[in-house]
Structures are given as structure tokens and as C-alpha cells.
């Protein structure tokens, strides 16, 4: 029961780590998209400001053709918008894999493996040996009780024969008693 709970806790911890990674990746993608949108907006604002300045400064007699530059900037802005649009439509790819050794946080992995699992292994071994000892102890105690009951029955029968018997039986019993004490 404990191992199942531990495996569920480990599975929950791994799922939390995976979800946190997905969240951090999603945040970085969102930040990147927001940065690109901000860059596009600032470029658009600069382009509009430059365009307005160029309209205001038509009095200058410099004859420069900025039409190709404007076309390039418009094209690059539309390319950036297109890249942002395609990035938002990318599906999230779920990756399931079975690893013998972790890709990240190896120190944490080994801390869990050699810290918690080793401790549980020692506790389980201790409990199994304690159980074996308890079973052995109860078996021996039951054997002792049976032997005590047998000895008590023999003593009661000896005393009954000795007290109820005549002189001849008492002498035979005393002789037997004295012979058992000599050996």
C-alpha cells in the first residue's frame, strides 16, 4: 500500500515537473511573440514617423528614391507578421519517454533514489526480520507452554500415586526418584 502511494507521489511529482516545463516553454514563447509584436509596432511607428518626416521635409532638394527601402521594410514587416502567425498555430507536441537516467536534475534524482528508496528498503528488511523473529518467538513460547503442561500433568500423576498408594508403591517410587537424581 505504501509503495503504491509512493509510486503515485513520484508519478505526481514527475507530472508536475513536466507541466512546469511546458508552462515555462509556453511563457517563453508568449514572451517571444510579445517581443516580436512590440518590435513590429515600434518599427511600424518609426516607419510612420519617418514617412511623416519625409513628407514634411520635401522642401529639401535631395533627390533620393526611398520607394525600394519602403518596399523592403513593408515586406520585412509582413514577413515578421507571417512568422508570428505561423508560430501561434504550431501544435503542442507531447513527448512521452522512459528514461533510465534523467536528462535534468540528476542530483535530485539520485537524492531521491539513494535517500528515500534506500531508506525504505532498509525499513522493509528490518520489518521482515522482525516479523520472522516474532513468529519464531511465539513458536518457541507455545512449545514451552506445551512442555510445562506435560510436566505439570506428570507431577500431578506422581503426587497422586505417591499419596494414594501403599507402602510398597511409595518405596518403589522413592527408589526411582533417588536413581534419577544420581545420573
Domain that holds residue 164: 104-183
Whether residues 18 and 72 share a domain: the answer is yes
Higher-scoring residue by pLDDT: 163, 111: 163
Cell numbers placing 139: 513458536
Whether residues 14 and 81 share a domain: the answer is yes
Whether residues 72 and 114 share a domain: the answer is no
For residues 36 and 80, the answer to whether their CB atoms sit within 8 Å is: yes
| Angstrom distance (rounded) from CA 43 to CA 83 | 16
Domain count within the chain: 2
The 10 Å Cβ neighbour count of residue 70 is: 14
Residue 109 burial (10 A CB sphere; 0-12, 13-18, 19+): middle
Taking the whole predicted model, whether its pTM rises above 0.85 is answered as no
Which are the contacts of 108, defined by CB distance < 8 A and separation ≥ 6?
102
Structural domain ending residue among the three candidates 71, 96, 121: 96
For the stretch 65-94, pLDDT in tens is 788 888 888 998 888 888 777 776 667 778
Amino acid at each position: 500500500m505504501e509503495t503504491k502511494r509512493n509510486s503515485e507521489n513520484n508519478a505526481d511529482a514527475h507530472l508536475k515537473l513536466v507541466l512546469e516545463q511546458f508552462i515555462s516553454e509556453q511563457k517563453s514563447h508568449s514572451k517571444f511573440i510579445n517581443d516580436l509584436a512590440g518590435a513590429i509596432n515600434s518599427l511600424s511607428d518609426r516607419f510612420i514617423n519617418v514617412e511623416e518626416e519625409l513628407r514634411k521635409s520635401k522642401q529639401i532638394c535631395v533627390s533620393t528614391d526611398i520607394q525600394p527601402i519602403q518596399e523592403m521594410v513593408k515586406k520585412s514587416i509582413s514577413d515578421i507578421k507571417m512568422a508570428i502567425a505561423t508560430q501561434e498555430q504550431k501544435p503542442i507536441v507531447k513527448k512521452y519517454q522512459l528514461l533510465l537516467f534523467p536528462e535534468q536534475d540528476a542530483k535530485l534524482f539520485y537524492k531521491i533514489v539513494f535517500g528515500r528508496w534506500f531508506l525504505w528498503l532498509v525499513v522493509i528488511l528490518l520489518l521482515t526480520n522482525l516479523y520472522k523473529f516474532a513468529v519464531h518467538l511465539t513458536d518457541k513460547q507455545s512449545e514451552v507452554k506445551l512442555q510445562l503442561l506435560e510436566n505439570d500433568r506428570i507431577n500431578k500423576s506422581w503426587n497422586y500415586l505417591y499419596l494414594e498408594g501403599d507402602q510398597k508403591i511409595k518405596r518403589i517410587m522413592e527408589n526411582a526418584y533417588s536413581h534419577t537424581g544420581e545420573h
